[in-house]
């Protein structure tokens, strides 16, 4: 008999290994139960107990403000059965050691996603067709058939993706309370599935991305149905609330528009108000959003032959309309996004008497001022005019 056969015969049968493992876990559980008692075991399984650790305050207060606040933490984070409960309690002891030794990392990340079985304790995926809002058509059974996990769409439902948002650092634990928890959960983009996720998945699986595929209500706002909306009204509405426009048109742009996102109130709270939001103008938004560019880079009907000779007078009366497509300072005549006044009206410094030809009196001006940059290109001027 060779060495390999000897090792095979001496190895314990599979059922012996399983039995030994089960016996070990059972003894551990019994020891834990004896030490804590039934009431102690029940107490350490409550969501309130989770918040007793400073590190878990962000998770506790966001859960408390979520739609799942009536579901105890253990119902989602601990699987059914003695083995899973024992593992969870053992892991709790390990976490307690890390806390005492200050060896844990922040922000705290889940070691693995919540399994579908945890969600299916309450939600019937076979019959769930719509969302709570009533507008979205989501056949969950078809998603399950494609092996799509619940957390791929609903990862922020209980905690608002606070770990991904980097708001759970050690220095911030004392700031967490009910108010901050509600603030963190108030923005639906962190608690609800993102439309971008749906659209990306549909594209990969060759599923239609038409509005009616997922929405059973009309998606076009009433303002868009007016006959003169495109020619007269949409610019005024965009100027009043460009963020509302971006909710739909941001998804239609091939590139993300910078400057449209605001720093959330919760982020400002944690940073003591150090972060300030700068809102992009409607004119600049139209230049950056590729969907808007399809119209804004097309020559209007008014720009007929000979328009260049009369455009100056028109520009003086409707400067904002011109700025929807054009720009004073940016250069690059062939760049459709940045056709600027300075592309055709460059600074004329040649000759000794250029100041006399300048449309604004600049006699005595020896260096560019802020007023100069309302027409001239700052980088171009500053390449010669150093401070």
Q: Write down the pLDDT at residue 158.
A: 92
Kindly tell me the burial class for residue 368, based on how many C-beta atoms sit within 10 Å of its own C-beta (0-12, 13-18, 19 or more). middle
In a domain, 256, yes or no: yes
Q: Is 242 helix (H, G, I), strand (E, B) or coil?
A: helix
Distance CA 359, CA 130 (A): 64
Token pair of 359 as six digits: 């449309």
Give the pLDDT confidence score for residue 74 in this predicted structure: 83
> Residue 351 is inside which H or E element, if any?
none
161 exposure class (CB count in 10 Å sphere: 0-12, 13-18, 19+) = middle
Paired with 340 in beta bridges are 327
Per the CB < 8 A criterion, the answer to whether 257 and 246 are in contact is yes
What pLDDT is recorded for position 44?
Answer: 59
In a domain, 166, yes or no: no
Domain membership of residue 269 as a residue range: 222-325
User: Is 257 within a domain?
Assistant: yes
146 part of a folded domain: no
Look at the chain and report how many structural domains it folds into: 1
**8 in a domain, yes or no?**
no
Give the span between the Cα atoms of 273 and 353, in whole angstroms. Answer: 51
CA 237 to chain CA mean position, Å:
25
The rounded distance, in Å, linking the Cα atoms of 164 and 223 is 37
Residue 192 CA: distances (Å) to CA of 61, 156, 371:
18, 7, 47
- Per-position b or e across 251-280, b if 16+ CB within 10 A of its CB: eebeeebeebeeebebbbbbeeeeeeeeeb
- Please, are residues 150 and 181 in contact by the beta-carbon 8 Å criterion? no
| Residue 312, in any domain of the structure | yes
Examine residue 206 and state whether it is found in any structural domain, yes or no: no
Model confidence pLDDT, tens digit, residues 373-384: 877 777 777 777
| Residue given tokens 């979520």 in the structure block | 66
Name residues of the chain where pLDDT drops below 70: 1-46, 81-82, 84-86, 88-97, 99-100, 104-108, 111, 130-134, 218, 261-278, 328-340, 342-352, 386-387
Angle at which helices 14-43 and 82-101 pack, to 10 degrees?
A: 60
Task: Confirm whether 102 is domain-assigned.
Answer: no
pLDDT of the residue at 263: 58
Per-residue tokens: 113: 């996603």
């Amino acid at each position: 008999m060779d060495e390999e056969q000897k090792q095979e015969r001496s190895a314990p049968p599979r059922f012996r290994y399983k039995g030994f493992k089960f016996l070990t876990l059972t003894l551990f559980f019994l020891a834990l139960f004896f030490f804590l008692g039934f009431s102690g075991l029940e107490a350490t399984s409550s969501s309130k107990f989770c918040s007793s650790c400073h590190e878990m305050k962000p998770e506790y207060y966001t859960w408390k403000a979520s739609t799942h606040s009536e579901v105890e933490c253990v119902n989602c984070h601990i699987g059914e059965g003695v083995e899973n409960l024992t593992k969870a309690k053992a892991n709790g002891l390990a976490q307690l050691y890390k806390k005492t030794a200050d060896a844990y990392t922040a922000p705290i990340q889940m070691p693995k996603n919540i399994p579908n079985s945890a969600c299916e304790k309450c939600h019937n995926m076979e019959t769930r067709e719509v969302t709570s809002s009533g507008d979205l058509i989501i056949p969950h059974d078809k998603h399950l058939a494609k092996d799509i996990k619940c957390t791929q769409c609903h990862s922020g439902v209980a905690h608002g993706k606070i770990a991904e948002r980097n708001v759970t650092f050690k220095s911030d634990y004392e700031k967490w309370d009910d108010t901050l928890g509600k603030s963190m959960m108030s923005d639906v983009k962190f608690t609800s599935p993102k439309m971008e996720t749906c659209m990306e998945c549909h594209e990969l699986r060759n599923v239609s991305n038409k509005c009616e595929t997922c929405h059973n209500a009309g998606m076009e706002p009433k303002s868009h149905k007016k006959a003169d909306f495109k020619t007269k009204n949409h610019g005024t509405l965009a100027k009043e609330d460009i963020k509302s426009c971006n909710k739909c048109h941001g998804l239609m742009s091939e590139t993300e528009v910078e400057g449209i996102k605001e720093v959330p109130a919760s982020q400002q709270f944690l940073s003591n108000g150090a972060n300030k939001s700068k809102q992009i103008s409607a004119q600049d938004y139209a230049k950056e959003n590729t969907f808007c560019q399809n119209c804004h880079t097309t020559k209007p009907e008014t720009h007929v032959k000979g328009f260049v000779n009369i455009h100056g007078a028109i520009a003086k009366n409707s400067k904002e309309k011109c700025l929807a497509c054009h720009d004073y300072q940016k250069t690059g005549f062939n760049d459709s996004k940045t056709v600027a006044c300075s592309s055709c009206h460059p600074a004329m410094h040649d000759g000794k008497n250029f100041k006399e030809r300048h449309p604004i009196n600049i006699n005595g001006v020896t260096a560019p001022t802020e007023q100069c940059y309302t027409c001239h290109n700052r980088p171009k001027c500053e390449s010669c005019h150093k401070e």
